[in-house]
Amino acid sequence: MSVLCIILGILGLCTIPTAPGVPVNLGSAGNYAVLARSGVSTVPQSRIVGDVGLSPAAATFLTGFALTKSLTGQSATSVQVTGSLFASDFVTPTPQNL
């Protein structure tokens, strides 16, 4: 039976059931669509849905986004991001959250 299923599997006619993947707990990192260490670059046509976090690099390494910093200094926005951008050099508590 297993030899037949292997042959049929090679032909794409038989599938072997597998266990479903278990989600990985990302802790607080699960809140970010993009989480980087050294930099994030974009081109004007890019679209990111969710927050962007950058640490230990500074906000100057978020390139191509045309950032608008919030009044509190804890985050920034961009027309290319549906969400907020955070960097390690923003006002506390942002560095600790990253």
Which range marks the domain in which residue 85 is found? 29-97
Domain assignment of residue 66, yes or no:
yes
pLDDT score of 1 more than 70: no
Three-state SS sequence of 28-83: HHHHEEEEECCCEECCCCCCEECEEEECCCCHHHEECCCCEECCCCCCEEECCEEE
The tally of domains found in the chain comes to 1
Domain assignment of residue 90, yes or no:
yes
pLDDT, tens digit (0-9, with 9 covering 90-100), for 42-92: 877 789 999 999 999 999 999 999 999 999 999 999 999 999 999 999 998
Q: Is 84 exposed, middle or buried (0-12, 13-18, 19+ CB in 10 A)?
A: middle
Domain assignment of residue 20, yes or no:
no
Domain assignment of residue 22, yes or no:
no
Domain assignment of residue 79, yes or no:
yes
pLDDT, tens digit (0-9, with 9 covering 90-100), for 11-50: 565 566 666 778 777 777 778 899 999 999 987 778 999 9
Q: Would you state the pLDDT for residue 9?
A: 59
User: What's the distance, CA 44 to chain centroid?
Assistant: 18
Domain assignment of residue 67, yes or no:
yes
Q: Would you state the pLDDT for residue 16?
A: 61
Q: pTM of the full predicted structure?
A: 0.70
